[in-house]
A and B are shown apart, each in its own frame.
Chain A
Amino acid sequence: MRTLLIGTLMHAKHMSRSPFEVSLALVIPVVQATMAVHLFRAGQEPHRLLEAAVGAGLMGVWSSVLFGSGGAIQNQRWQGTLEMIIMAPRRPVTVLLPITAATAITGTYAMLATLLWGRLLYGIPLDLARPYAFLAATLACVAGLGMFGLLLASTFVLLRNANALANPLEYPIWLLSGMLVPISVLPSWTVPIAAVLPTTWGARAVREATVGGPVWPSIGICLAIGTGCLLLGAYCLTSFERRARAAATLALS
């Protein structure tokens, strides 16, 4: 546990000092808040502004986890630290979970910043239906995403060109999890896919907390699926770590 905490802290510290990530983290929320506002102004649905802003914030969390876990592992491969951390006498999960957790935390910041910019620039009222539930839902969402990120990270350990995989995953998950538009408008074949993504339930919990609704079941499902991802991710990591050692993909050369 201590290892997980220290690891998360150090990785968050390391990421927060990257000028590239920092500028992204400053710009993206503004862009997202703007997007949310204009999408829904145009749609003559001002009452849904807050909902849209929350959705946009969640998109930020997802992007952060996706590129974070993919990018972080790729970066570590570049820096030569991937070998050093894999060589630690620990389970691979213990080593990698802090990285995805750190990215999920950076992502939460993106979400909060989106709301804040929405408030400052466009005067979106922050009247959350259930403020405490909103907090809980956000935390659950971050935890769920962090654990889902681990599952993704496990594949990034194996593949040397992990980035190529991360890019095409960004938009579909936004859509499928109903961060951008309600799931109900998507074609029916997407429903089962959406139902197994922790992001869907996390987004739903956050939305329910924003506009009112039974928040806790969604939180529960999000965390349960997240835990499933964690277990599966841990299993995959152990086997992928071995395969990466056989295929020599831990280092660049």
Chain B
Amino acid sequence: MSAGKDAALVVIGPPKWSLDPENPVPPEDDAVLLRLGEDGRATAYSGKVEYGQGIRSGFAYAVADELDLPVDSVEVVLGDTRMVPYDRGTTGSASTRTVGLQLRRAAAAARQALIGLAAEEWATDAGGITAEKGEVLEIDGASRSARFAELLEGRTLEIDIPEQIVIKQIDDLNLTADAARRVDAIARVTGTAKYSRDIALPGMLHGKILRPPSYGARLQQVDTTRAEQVPGFVAFVRDGDFAGVVAEREDAAEYALETVRARWEETRVDSSDWSLPGLLKEKAKDLAVLRESGSLDAGFDAADRIFEGVYFVPYVANATMEPCASVAEWDGGHLTVWSGNRAPFTERAGIAQAFGISEDSVDVITAEVGGSFGSKSSTVSYEAARLSQEVGRPVRVAYSREEEFTWSTVRPAALIEIRSGVSSDGEIVAWDYVAYHAGETPFRGRRGADTPYGTANVRIAVANAESPLSSGSYRSLGGAVNHFAREVHIDEIAAGMGIDPVELRSRNLAHPRYRRVLEVAAQKFGWSSRSGSDGKGFGVALGHDVGSYVAQCVELSVSGREVQVERVVAAFDCGLALNPDGVRNQVEGSIMMGIGTALWEAMEFDGGRVLNPGFSRYRVPRITDAPEIEVELVGDPDTPSTGAGEPGIVPVAAAVANAVTDATGTRVDQLPIVPRL
């Protein structure tokens, strides 16, 4: 337990809290959330992880504000299963509005308790006491004051969070509001931040996994005679199709692996990225109707025009800058793993199961994570642990870029069919939406499939299709893909009806938060209808994800097969933005990532092999591709905070596609755009 033995004020409670009925939190066991030590320093504990979104900083500032401590007196421990409360994982952009809120409540409870201690000691009314910079003091006379630690008088006090605890008004969160720099900035600019491949244990060895030539291949025979001669070679481990080399140094492991002769039996899968669009529909199963109302037949009968479109989005890679890595060490039957992950407790459970041991026998310590966006699986930790188990020493496994591209999960490809009926004045009167998303789990494509454009006659249906590549999560999984199809289709309606795309959207949107982001984005951008075809194009799109609303206008130029996005204006509504700069950073990053998926990114594969597992063949956005980005935060401060890390990506691809259509006159219904120009 993290309570420690020294004198301390320890706040205990369920790890999460939420005021947002749309975002309830599951009941979880009480745990230590906050500890104020006799050195006057506070430590907050959370099972969330930091992969760049800035939650360590956000939590630290929030606790400092609520507890009236300087921010450098606050430490935040994340993702270490030995110390932090259980957490299901860092997904859905929910950290700030659940754990962040609960840590604020815990800090407020601590502050209240300290004031209570002072009131008792001074035999005065708690109402006359306040806290400031690690001290409690009397408000009027200011005659008496005490450091937090002094009030503990060597005791350890455990308190719960009172149900009615009052947290500070937003206007009083001064540190948070001015959080100009992240608390982890120094470590990050000096190179001292430790990612999992930077962790070295005494006696640690290095492992390299023998990879099959194609997905699903079975290992038949291996000859390790030459590998064994390599200086530094320690062991070759084989367990069925799993095999790897362990060596004293990473380069020795790599070299030894190259000399291993292996015979594989490959399964001939003939699917390739070329066959994808057709394949998705062919392999579809379990069509789930998410929403159905009115009568599509009646709607289409009443329509003046009917529009039909088929849209395709390929597999794309998360391609985090840090390839997966993990260090594993066994101590008798106990396993400790240092890894970059998104869900240390899920990783712990998976590893415990794989080794047939109890979860208590596994600890997962999350290092700094060099980007996730939805990737970072526990496979690498299993690999390191399996090799370590065999050689009886700690082992690090660190993926190469090629391994990262080939063995990480990818965002599922999708095929989407839309049929819409529109009245002569541009009102959408029928909407039939069917999406086929690749993926092993059903209904990966639910998110963002519904439409905000009001129509009485609607069907929203989603199917999952067997996936030739191992698909997994991604920034706004499903959401970004569904939005691409819908928002491009809306532009097709606008073009067909001769109505400006902003105007058409506006006519069909009732929801005030959608309307506001659209209006603000269009106005700040200086939107005007164009019928470009001069190589310059404007595009607009909007969307909703994890509770937040966003609209974006894009300006770009096309010359030959070069597309340069020049300017993006985003209006973003995530309710209250606790740390506006952090929100902006996330929206900017989402826009950059979305530009990549719009213009260049696609996994190429054939016969179970990835054909472009490197940055020379898988083009991601670079600094030369970065447009001017303006992010307008339009959320109402009285509305509870909603997600910030993901929604920014949902409209980008469509806005870019619509702008390319505007510039070239050519319809875009498949991504990526550039290879098809």
- Answer whether A and B are interacting partners: no
Q: Give A contacts to B, CB under 8 Å.
A: none
